[in-house]
Chain A
Amino acid sequence: QQQVKQSPQSLIVQKGGISIINCAYENTAFDYFPWYQQFPGKGPALLIAIRPDVSEKKEGRFTISFNKSAKQFSLHIMDSQPGDSATYFCAASGKYGGATNKLIFGTGTLLAVQP
């Protein structure tokens, strides 16, 4: 059972466009929601993260929108560039006990930004 559901599996966006990737979760004990970016042949790297006490967090062209009541969060990439082409993973971890040490990942979205 996938605890963090991510969509779409793949996404093609034109240069300058907005890329949107969505994630949903069921476990209300999750309280930390990072996004990771992975280039081919490399390990994932933290892009941006949010906690559920805020509805939005922005860092440069990257924004997380968080809807606590719907248990959904999304990554928006503004002015998408070819260099943003990568696989993006959402993730979640809990706030109690052993759950704080377990980062649960979504299945990933392969983003291709066409020039």
Chain B
Amino acid sequence: NAGVTQTPKFQVLKTGQSMTLQCAQDMNHEYMSWYRQDPGMGLRLIHYSVGAGITDQGEVPNGYNVSRSTTEDFPLRLLSAAPSQTSVYFCASSLQGASGNTIYFGEGSWLTVV
């Protein structure tokens, strides 16, 4: 059982570079989301998707893009990385939505922007 798989695990970027964090789930979940975790701030929702072709913004969407072309995949794109985007990123999925459903998290992607 793979669950939610994130790649890469670790990444160092230079300011201004772009990159994509990959996320895949094999549970046929409709809902997928991206969070960032920063010390003292908990997890904050970046973007989420309720199905293929449907995405929406969370609490902290600026500087990030997402798309959902398949049920399985939900990549997160940083178009022009900034030091403020240094964080641990978690992808998550659930059967349907956040309320009342178990959300399964990946193991995280550690991103450092220098």
The DSSP consensus for interface residues of chain A is mixed
Q: Which residues of A contact B43 (CB under 8 A)?
A: 44, 89, 105
Interface size, chain B (Cβ < 8 Å): 27
A41: chain B residues at CB < 8 Å are: 107-108
B50 touches A101 (CB 8 A): yes
* CA gap between A44 and B102 in the complex, in Å: 11
Q: How far is the CA of A34 from the CA of B44 in the complex (A)?
A: 15
Is B74 an interface residue, CB under 8 A from the partner? no
Closest beta carbon of chain A to B61's beta carbon, Å: 12
Q: Chain A: interface residue count, which band?
A: 20 to 34
Cβ A43 vs Cβ B40 within 8 A: no
Q: With A and B bound together, what is the CA distance between A53 and B45 in angstroms?
A: 26
In the bound complex, do residue B42 and residue A43 qualify as a contact, i.e. CB atoms below 8 Å apart?
A: no
| Contact pattern, B 84-108, Cβ under 8 Å of A = 1, otherwise 0 | 0000001010000111101101111
From known contacts A105-B42, A107-B41, infer whether A42 and B31 are also in contact, taking CB-CB under 8 Å.
no
**Can you list 26 A-B pairs, Cβ within 8 angstroms, ordered by A?**
A6-B42, A32-B98, A32-B100, A41-B107, A42-B107, A43-B90, A43-B106, A43-B107, A44-B43, A51-B100, A89-B43, A99-B99, A100-B97, A101-B31, A101-B48, A101-B56, A101-B97, A101-B98, A101-B99, A104-B59, A105-B35, A105-B44, A106-B42, A107-B40, A107-B41, A108-B42
